[in-house]
Structure 1
């Protein structure tokens, strides 16, 4: 970065050691970025590395995706990169964005913008801006409102983003009220960045989030879903989740989370279900082996949402939440459907919520081998996540009880391994297939075959593998009881 004479430019001599390291990050991509900058300059246009790319470079974590802004309009950008870009995509063209790939980097080049909401519609109205200063002012947060001009590497920071980055604070370039009126999703993005970067939201921003939470209703479910997913997958999701609840944002799209604050956990009188849930999410993060497991985190977040609707107080004053896992699974499915999550993701999260209590009672010695088989079969490919969720759900401060629960689950996993060594638990099937059933019973394809298949599978889960003669004898006995054969 070279010294610049423009107002608000930051002299390289003022950079901290960490920020000087960011220069190296930028130089790593500069062969591509500078070459692109020269192409725009020759065409009479500006080009600036901007937003998250500059922020991440300053944090020493610049990736392979680079964001640029320019005074060139999309058609002009396409002409400038024609023959240079290895691939081009125009999916963001209506928002002024052209995507390109070159030298192993993914580039997004966006025309200066001055977009805003009309405060009625649920999508931004895109209006092209005319200069960098205007473009930076309309960005969400000061840490995303810095730019590096190309190819001369002039650094521009009109809103003190560098200071806020050093202070680890999230602040808006314009007033928070103006910023959130333009795009209410920025309130959710503030919580997301707090979770991702472990930053603190400025008190003025937090106050505006609280006062304007209802404005989030103007945003489409898909945009909310995407921001929330990033928040939950952040390095510190608990901070983000607390912000959502404390500011009232959660009430707008995830009211089940806020509702948990009202319920007391019968297993841990020292904390309410809300605090217990946040602890379970934190525990689940600790069980991840590689990157964010959204399905596990979401299941941890939603596992007790059925408690408010199932709360009852016994004559002895004890609180219980019978069948809250069933109610919770139903609520989880409905909420994720409303947020437009894919069916397969929703199905997996819902199944984990429904199964999360199944383990309790194992320590009393009541589980037969058939119960273990059903546990594994019902979990299917979710079994590794179910192991983690169940262990995460142990938040008691009673060390003896916590140690006993951990030992019980260790024993269950060992028992699963022993049975699996003898049987393929992941692929439990009846001992007779459909063709054998039809041949033995003398029936055509149809409902009878399905019922017989289910009976044999249940028998397989109950008693383990049967040899051919035993399986046929059991099938014939069932068929006679059902009146299918004489």
Structure 2
């Protein structure tokens, strides 16, 4: 991609959303101010992936920006105004307009002392990477590229406008952003960037868990998360962000050989992504599935036991791993549903290996489906992705066996509502039949009937009533007269 073609590509992308940017540019020009498309928006325009979320910078101060967009924007928000940013929506586009910045950092926390600048060049100098340190003046469509960002995009190289040491000392989150851009954009970090990240990795502890989690999620859902994870691990960042991942790099000695759990987990992640894309090419990346694939074996280091004869075991590593997963994701401030779903997938990922050659009873199949619940489609992908053996015969046999399990699930589901396994009697019927008020006894009876349903499948009403009364008698629960 030569410079001329790159600029034409960027302008073509810009013209695609010109009705919005054109009107906005005219309003700023009429008010005597300059407006620039800036940062990641310029980079994405060059790469032909510009979205409707656009970043702008201007010499106008925030109060002036508010007056310029007032009456024109569909909506305006001021949540970032302390940092010089005014948010705007217009005709389906989301625009962030930030006054030129010339910030300084105390290099203790992350938040800068906000100082407004006077030039776009000064604003670009404070940007994280040269590929993000470009601007297009909209009125003339003139490129501003003082740090060779165009060349960086063409070569897909990540470098910093200032020295990496200065950049990362100002904002350590930029190190994790480097890993994210490697995963999202398939860029290669410059050697000096890698060197600085390795030396300064501990500085990431200055950043709040919420900000770390946001970058990590973008990395995991990127086009090539394996590359981003490898950079995290190789530079030492992962030791402070997700230490369980480098912790899976188990030493392999000549007497007790086993798989490298770290490399195995990356392979499982790659294969899970392949299945994700194969099953629904139009669906977006699945954060829960990808986290589960990466973390499914993190319990192995803590459960490893060497056996006589050269074997290695990891008994109950799925139980330990589920607890570790919950603890780590909670520390990273992930939402409760994500924590619960990822942990449950880690807990269940080994269950299938008890299936053997189809020895499971229908009851065991029902329990597998019930325990997975809404996670069953993801569990299918995770279990299939967990097969990384190079022995094609063994791999094919495992896939055929799982095909058989899925066929059994489908067959039983045709006869029973497996998606909603419930007792054959509900709580109101239990209270009526046993003559008991709401309370623990009803809950215990409900649980008994659910276990019975899992073991034997659907019961007709009379049979369910007989089993309930039999259980109640054994529990010493005496039905009230007339019930």
TM bin, normalised by shorter chain, reads over 0.9
Whole-Å Cα distance in 1 between the matches of residues 129 and 268 of structure 2? Answer: 31
1:166 aligns with 2:154: yes
Match of 2:425 in 1: 432
2:325 to 332, 335, 347: 332
Contact 2:258/2:312 (8 A) holds in 1: no
Q: Deviations over 1:304-350 (max 9, x none)?
A: 11111111111222111111111111111111111101101111111
Partner of 2:355: 362
Structure 1: unaligned runs, 5 residues or longer:
1-12
- Contact 2:357 2:401 survives alignment (8 Å): no
Conserved in 2, the CA contact under 8 Å of 1:115 and 1:127?
A: yes
Aligned CA RMSD, in angstroms, stands at 1.6
Identify the residue that residue 124 of structure 1 maps to in structure 2: 112
Residue 304 of structure 2 is aligned to residue 311 of structure 1: yes
Could you tell me whether the CA contact under 8 Å between 2:257 and 2:311 is conserved in 1? no
Residue 66 of structure 2 corresponds to: 78
Measured in 2, the distance between the counterparts of 1:16 and 1:291 equals 33
Q: In structure 2, what is the Cα distance between the partners aligned to 1:14 and 1:484?
A: 83
Aligned to 1:320: 313
The question of whether the paired residues in 2 share the 8 Å contact of 1:95 and 1:126 is answered with yes
Distance 2:207 2:16 in 1: 37
Equivalent residue for 2:247, pick from 234, 259, 265: 259
The verdict on how the C-alpha distance between 1:277 and 1:464 changes in structure 2, with shifts beyond 3 A counting, is same
- The secondary structure found in structure 1 opposite 2:97 is strand
The residue aligned with 2:478 is: 485
Alignment correspondent of 1:229 = 217
| Distance verdict in 2 for CA 1:337–1:119, change over 3 Å | same
Q: For residues 26 and 436 of structure 1, what CA distance do their matches in structure 2 show? A: 65
Q: Deviations over 1:53-93 (max 9, x none)?
A: 10011011111111000111211100111111111111211
CA offset digits 1:102-145 (Å, max 9, x no partner): 23221100111123431222433322222101100100001101
CA drift at 1:154: 0.8
Aligned to 2:84: 96
**1:263, 1:334 → 2: CA distance?**
25
For residues 129-140 of structure 1, the aligned pairs below 5 Å read 129-140=117-128
Cross-structure match for 2:36: 48
Q: Does 1:389 align with 2:382?
A: yes
**Structure 2 SS opposite 1:57:** helix
Cα offset for 1:42? 2.1
- Alignment partner, residue 283 of structure 1: 271
Report whether the alignment pairs 1:148 with 2:136.
yes
Q: Is the 8 A contact 2:183 2:223 kept in 1?
A: yes
CA distance in 2, matches of 1:480, 1:407: 46
Which residue, out of 176, 185, 188, partners 2:164?
176
- Please show how residues 468-479 of structure 1 align to structure 2 within 5 Å: 468-479=461-472
Report if aligned partners of 1:99, 1:109 keep a CA contact under 8 Å in 2.
Answer: yes
Q: State the 1:445 CA deviation.
A: 1.1
Asked if residue 456 in structure 1 is aligned to residue 456 in structure 2, the reply is no
Q: Does 1:26 align with 2:19?
A: no
**Residue 62 (structure 1) aligns with:** 50
8 Å Cα contact 2:110/2:171 also seen in 1: no
TM-aligned CA distance change 1:16 to 1:40, over 3 Å? closer
